Structure 1
């Protein structure tokens, strides 16, 4: 290769890079929050990598699921890719009502989060999945630490979900024990399932667990917004949360300044879309098959370019 050719190639590369950078509105980092479960990190990494393809500067910031809204309101954080209707609606509504946070639409995924038990537990507690059967069978779910109360294994405390309040409101003979991490939650399920040991725990979907394990969600009294906000509504006239959890979309939210500072990025975030089945498969590849999140995301990007490239047109 001649010196002239090398120089020409270098100039072309520099011009292309300058053009790409000129197309984005600001090179300040767009801060995307990550949390403590695999699916959310995958969702966020896909979005971040797509934004990078468009020339944006992206920064991933570890943040608490509920507490992150303080940073989103002030603009210290910019984008949260998974706010679940099941557990994050109240915090999201409070943030959007402030005028400083905007709902960027659904991710395309629908959320279910609820108490769940393996199918083999119906042998010792035949009234399931009716929640009232749990009280009749509480001793079957007890551990040495909770006996004679049954044990419900909840998610990490930071996930919210009002399980402690639900147990109290429905006068259930259960003690809520919170798993320290997402990984610990499913490790305990795997251990119990292999031994057919008693367990009832928090399971969520989209996730690989509902496909891998045979079981059912507990059927609580139907959710209503009033059940959460008005103690007089529901089975217990003196307590709120005497019903099941809501279901619904998994939302994307952003600091309102994102649309002003990075309008192209805001459009891409709004356009992001993936379904439950696709996400469950990606999470399984990480949690079950041991692949890295970066490798799984890179593979998804390579095989879905026609999809994600439309987000940044």
Structure 2
């Protein structure tokens, strides 16, 4: 199975990436050396630990693994993910939310890597509340949820945009965005929803929470959160020459929000993320064939 690296930023003598933890291949590794002339070669996929990116990166990793690659999945903080691909520490990511969510990272690092285009269209970010709450617009917020927005990791694009909303909307002047993690946000949302309590979270879609709960985005009349976004694939410069077949898979990778949400929902309901990815790959051979067309 996949080898996992966990890296963080070390603030010693400038920016550097250091190994946080590593996993080992399982004894029942199902990858083979057949199906690709590049079998056995290592490829490192970076991702941020959002539910969307956990699902998509594991699916792409599974496809590459089945072609015989030694796949490493490296979880990073958002900005470090971009830096890792830019400087070649990682080979690729399928986790770039553009144009708004990762706009600042794209501006800083985009010209240092290759942009392969969208792998999913129709993504969105914003403030999300349970449908039972009697508020429909950010402008209508007054003192709901203790004037707190439950966020995810500091540095995430949706968190930065939510903090900008506090400045853009006069009625949010004395509100705060409370950062935590994607998992903690989802847990808080679930607990509040079960008790029909007020809660406002930093939200994005696709996400399994929309399949599990009756939720709604708050209208954003000032346009702080932007419109529809795409999730794009970015690779390090030189990957096409070094691993042309892997490059082809990454370039061809494209699926729907429904595809992504099905994997996320399986994971949220307790399935191991690698198992959920393998299940989707097994159940969608036609789409996988489109990504791997011509690779023998």
What runs of 5+ residues in structure 2 fail to find an aligned partner? 1-31
Structure label with greater radius of gyration:
1
Shift of 1:258: 0.9
User: Does the 8 Å CA contact 1:33/1:62 hold for their aligned counterparts?
Assistant: yes
Q: How does 1:145-294 map to 2 (within 5 A)?
A: 150-161=147-158, 162=160, 163-171=162-170, 172-223=172-223, 243-287=224-268, 289-294=269-274
Query: Are the structure 2 counterparts of residues 131 and 80 from structure 1 closer, same or farther at C-alpha, using a change threshold of 3 Å?
Result: same
User: Does the 8 Å CA contact 1:157/1:178 hold for their aligned counterparts?
Assistant: no
- Distance in 2 separating the partners of 1:180 and 1:130: 24
What runs of 5+ residues in structure 1 fail to find an aligned partner? 1-16, 123-127, 143-149, 224-242
Query: Are the structure 2 counterparts of residues 93 and 76 from structure 1 closer, same or farther at C-alpha, using a change threshold of 3 Å?
Result: same
Q: Deviations over 1:156-212 (max 9, x none)?
A: 113133222220232314433334221110111111111111111112111121232
- Distance in 1 separating the partners of 2:275 and 2:81: 27
- Distance in 2 separating the partners of 1:165 and 1:108: 26
Q: Which residue is 1:32 aligned to?
A: 45
Query: Are the structure 2 counterparts of residues 34 and 18 from structure 1 closer, same or farther at C-alpha, using a change threshold of 3 Å?
Result: closer
User: Does the 8 Å CA contact 2:33/2:68 hold for their aligned counterparts?
Assistant: no
Alignment RMSD (CA, Å) = 2.1
- Distance in 2 separating the partners of 1:116 and 1:251: 23
1:108 aligned to 2:120? yes
Select the structure that is richer in strand.
Answer: 2
Residue 49 of structure 1, aligned match among 58, 62, 69: 62
Select the structure that is richer in helix.
Answer: 1
Q: How does 1:287-306 map to 2 (within 5 A)?
A: 287=268, 289-306=269-286
- Distance in 2 separating the partners of 1:131 and 1:247: 18
SS in 2 for 1:112: strand
Q: Which runs of 4+ in 1 moved over 6 A?
A: none
Q: TM-score, normalised by structure 2?
A: 0.80
User: Does the 8 Å CA contact 1:156/1:178 hold for their aligned counterparts?
Assistant: no
- Distance in 1 separating the partners of 2:231 and 2:117: 9
Q: How many residues align?
A: 258
SS in 1 for 2:85: helix
Q: Which residue is 2:132 aligned to?
A: 120
